[in-house]
Structure 1
Amino acid sequence: MRAPGFWWRAPDRPGLLPRLLAPLGWIYAAGTARRLRQPGHVPQVPVICVGNLTAGGAGKTPTVIALIERLTARGRKVHVVSRGYGGRLEGPVRVEETRHRAEEVGDEPLLLSAFAPVWVAKDRAAGVRAAEAAGAEVILMDDGFQSPSVRPALSLVVVDAARGFGNGRCIPAGPLREPVATGLARADLVLTIGDEAAQSQFDAVWGTPDLSRLRGWLQPLQMGMDWKGERVLAFAGIADPSRFFASLRAEGAELVRGEALGDHETLSETLLRRLEMEAAATGAQLVTTEKDAARLPPQWRAKVLTLVVRLQVEDWSAMDAAFTKAGV
């Protein structure tokens, strides 16, 4: 699905429709609050929840990859637990990169399985127990900040700095799963992801959260590929495809056209053939995101290039201190 455009308008100019939908947003927020009062599973090892306050992506997957690398460097055996959005398996099941496909386990778990053991489970508590039994010393819970099923030792809220918290209203009037103040009151840290302009924009609209904050940005990896002058036809089924297209331009690629797909949209044979024909007619190379590449059918993977990005953080000290406090 694609989020409606009015979700991302400035909070002081929401428009008529969000105002009309506001009562439904209050009901949604009340339901989230009621659900969070339920008791959750108390894990035997530290669980770090990487979540957000808005529907759709905010940069959680690159954040989880960065945390895997940082925790591994601290000598910890890291496992990841995910609900496997877009996958059909109930789990708990350990994701095997060479055996599973995105339609079974979801694209994000498939991508993350290259970095650490990943467990997909619709019941997060069952996934945590499976990871514990398999020897996990610390568990990264991908999403689940609004779920009561597991009690984390540490919660990190990830925010797209450019989009912030949208119009500041709850679903369906806006993108929020719960009010900003309510969500941040439960968090231990907040990570805002974006360039300097986006970080400044976030500060101007939302101020500085009253908790430890990290500032980060997504840095493309060269991977032996020089994008300068490369004619590309890009497609992306992520929360904000325009950010991906902007990254390609910043790397020097000549973007013939960008096809914005719905978040996690299925990459059908019909869609891919259409894009391939257009790329051939314009002398362009097909390119997509790392997460979308995980959903490509096997016969298409050699035909599509991937722009790989990794999270860079200005100062990790607040995160490191939180790890120590959480016993990680």
Structure 2
Amino acid sequence: MSSTDARGEKNAAAVAGGTGVAAAAARVSAEESAHFSAMNPKQVFGEVMGELAERDGGLSVVVSDYGRRLNLDHMRKVLPEGFVQCGIAEQNQVEVAAALANEGLTTFAPSYATFITGRVYDQIRVNLGMMRSPVALVGVSAGCESGMLGASHMALEDVSLMRGVPNVEVFCPADNAELASVLRLLAAAPRPAYVRTNTLDGVSLHPDGTTAVAGRAQRLFLSEGAPEVSLVATGTICSRAVEAARLLAADGVSAEVLEMLTVKPLDVAAVDALAAGGRKLVVTVEEHSVVGGLGAAVAERMSARGGAPALLRLGMPDAYQNADSQAALLERAGLTSEGIAARVRERLARG
């Protein structure tokens, strides 16, 4: 057996064998959910890293200059040797992170989402994909959050890129509580992963707390009656999908919202269930290009299974966007609550 195969089997065994322990470690309580809801994702990342540093002397956070903005002061005070600064060199950042992870350290590598995926794609393919190095890449300011800096800083292809790398899981938390839970999960059961984060609306969708589970969808909203329309969303745009479903319900259209925490692995059982129950339409919603993301993953599964209802994919256009605010970019793409509801009504009216 090659060293790569052995490492992959070891990682898989650690994840499978530690499922119960990892789930317990990943739990975010209702009190913690309220606490995290007052933060932005960068603050959440730093707080969780500080929490982990207090009990894991093998924690390593590898940054590429961006570390100053990630609320890591406490982590650096508790575990100064665990903070590794690579400078503006994301490719080197991934190589260093992989080397530390391969030596048994619990390793996180955060940076702008567009850079920690696109700029370092070959390093990810080789280290996380082929070598199965258990690094958790954390993409900050994903989607349109950095839209004022122009197309170079918008991460609208990152999910598509990461979906294409074998052995890498893709997490898109819907709010800060879920982000904290995902980070705890990946510390308790390290594996090659990409965690996509951004700030949108500041809505808490898990006020009662949450436990992150890869490959499992959860229902965030259900109107009265069997759902005619199922909105399947991922990431912080889930809050707008929920509001859109409320608008549809007020118009007499029964609707539900399913959150896909992981685009990979996809909850195929949940997607298969969408073909049952008399639904007229399935709608995917994401702050990502309509090419290659959640919509593509759902379409691939529905096509392979057959017998599914019509599918409407909502996301960012397949084009580079001019610099603008996140709010303006999403509004132009029709990704407001009202815009989503309007597109659904239009599609239903066409039959």
TM-score for the superposition, normalised by structure 2: 0.35
Bigger relative contact order (CA 8 A; separation at least 6): 1
Name whichever structure is richer in helix by fraction: 2
TM-score for the superposition, normalised by structure 1: 0.37
